[in-house]
Chains A and B, each alone.
Chain A
Amino acid sequence: MVLEATMICIDNSEWMRNGDYAPSRFQAQADAINLICGAKTQSNPENTVGVLTMAGKGVRVLVTPTSDLGKILACMHGLEIGGEMNLAAGIQVAQLALKHRQNKKQQQRIIVFAGRCAVIACSPVTHDKKALEMIGKKLKKNSVALDIVNFGEDDEGKTEKLEALLAAVNNNDTSHIVHVPAGPNALSDVLISTPIFTGDGEGGSGFAASAAAASAGGVSGFEFGVDPNLDPELALALRVSMEEERARQEAAAKKAAEEASKQEKGGEEQDATMTERASEGTSEADNKKNEIADDDNTLLQQALAMSMDEPTSSQDLQDTEMSDAAAEDPELALALQLSVQDSTKDSSSQADMSTLLADQSFVSSILASLPGVDPNDPSVKEVLASMQNQSEPQQKQGEDKAPKKEEEK
């Protein structure tokens, strides 16, 4: 619920005609912007959002920061595509627009859609990087946060320059960069699960969750397969039984801690992915990716198992169990599998990942080395506590998230 004034910088250069993001890059941007505006105004009614375009004849402010959503949506109509994007000028004009916001108590934030940056001029990477770092420093000095959405092609070391810019601006993790590769997923869907929407872990997730449901229709991607908006009591009941199950498992998993060192290699991956998954919150995008990459995961699990001299048979068994259940209700599958594990007393496979994860100090050290993860963050601590209980379905979901997350970060 942070009180914020946001300026969104749109890339409306010629390259936005490209259709590699459905239906066209420009349309994808427009959809994403509509969602962002909605999320911001919903999370705090006093938030204001403004929009400017960076390409065309020059940087042009379409609407100054306002809380009137209709005005913002209206100005997105009739925008023309053309010219080349000027990132530096765009950011500076955005900063100026924020400086003259009406409510000085609002935090300042700029969201940049970087499709195809000529940046300053077609000069070597180092020169641009320096210039961008100067801009970043100035933003940090004036306590302006910056979110960058990196999409489109990566020529002239664009990603590198944007990362440098983010590093210069970033103050306490208030600024983020998201890399969106071209693909079947809509730009807005990908953004929903990022901190740009969820606002550093609080706020907009409620809006984001319902937006995800609206945009995708059909399959509900919520935790437990129930939309908390439609049936809050059922969702709550499922969540509570899940927590109870975890608490029970926690006690069981704690006793197998000494097998931690054996599982080091595999566990490391699991930790990283676990944390990232937890810090995002639930979203439909998660589950969609799960279904797609299920085969890869099975193979990956087997490879892991082989490298760890674990009995592959037990893992395969678990894999097949999981693939059935994991399609729609991963959490339910987890509960099922945990109870199966318990009854068979298969301590070796239980010890597989969960024991390593039970080793708190090891996990903390791994987390500390991850970029963008603060081990003292309460949500991370929460995950740590319940981490022993995560078994393969969680890990599987986590794993195909890992390559995605590495990319985004």
Chain B
Amino acid sequence: MSAADSATAIQRNQVDLLDFIDWSGVECLNQSSSHSLSNALKQGYREDEGLNLESDADEQLLIYIPFNQVIKLHSIVVMGSEEDGPKTVKLFANREHMGFSNVSDFPPSDTAVLSPDNLKGKPVVLKYVKFQNVRSLTIFIEDNQSGSEITKVQKIALYGSTVETTDMKGLKKIEDH
């Protein structure tokens, strides 16, 4: 039921929030320099199976995504391989500039343990009530499926809808008559 739900939800009014990401503020800690976050987030790169986001010093990753307007987050899709793909993913809404040292300081807005189905593209439906007013999202990938040293993420997609806030860049001056 949840699968059908999520599928229809995505069709109904949830959009891919790619357009609302504020790219200038996107950060990823512990990513490998040759396999960066763009490979997983950006249109085109994320569809390419050869391009992955990879972790560097150990298997954890901390991704910070600010949005240019307030959004409601409904579900996420995290795709990866069966061995190196992420397993436990914690999401924090509206926490700026987190570091690995304070991920355990406060409880996550939601936690997802990814199954092989999820890694193939099945969306994970989140606790919608916790993500009603999201200005920024922090994704903490705690470990991967096989426990290896490097976590590889092929795609991250966010689905949700916008709250009707004004996009300041779209404001235009009213001409005097």
Contact = CB atoms under 8 A, between A and B. Distances in A.
Interface stretch (A134-142, A243-251, A386-394): A134-142
A104 B96 contact: yes
B96 A140 contact: no
B23 interface: no
A142 B99 CA distance: 7
B33 interface: yes
Given A99-B101, A171-B56, A142 B33 contact: no
A141 B60 CA distance: 9
Interface in A128-179: 137-138, 140-143, 171-172
Nearest to A140: B57
Nearest to B60: A141
A104 B25 CA distance: 11
B58 interface: yes
A99 B99 contact: yes
Interface string B44-71: 0000000000001110100000000000
A104 B136 CA distance: 15
Contacts of B97: 104
B82 to A, nearest CB: 25
Q: Which residue of A140, A141, A142, A143 has the most chain B CB atoms within 10 A of its CB atom? A: A141
Given A104-B96, A104-B97, A141 B33 contact: no
A172 to B, nearest CB: 5
Nearest to A139: B57
A45 B97 CA distance: 23
Given A142-B29, A143-B29, A137 B100 contact: no
Q: Which 7 pairs of residues, A with B, have the shortest CB-CB distance? A: A137-B57, A141-B30, A141-B57, A104-B97, A140-B57, A172-B33, A142-B99
Interface of A: 99, 104, 137-138, 140-143, 171-172
Given A141-B56, A171-B33, 16 more contacts: A104-B96, A137-B57, A138-B57, A140-B30, A140-B56, A141-B29, A141-B30, A141-B58, A141-B60, A142-B29, A142-B30, A142-B99, A142-B100, A143-B30, A171-B56, A172-B33
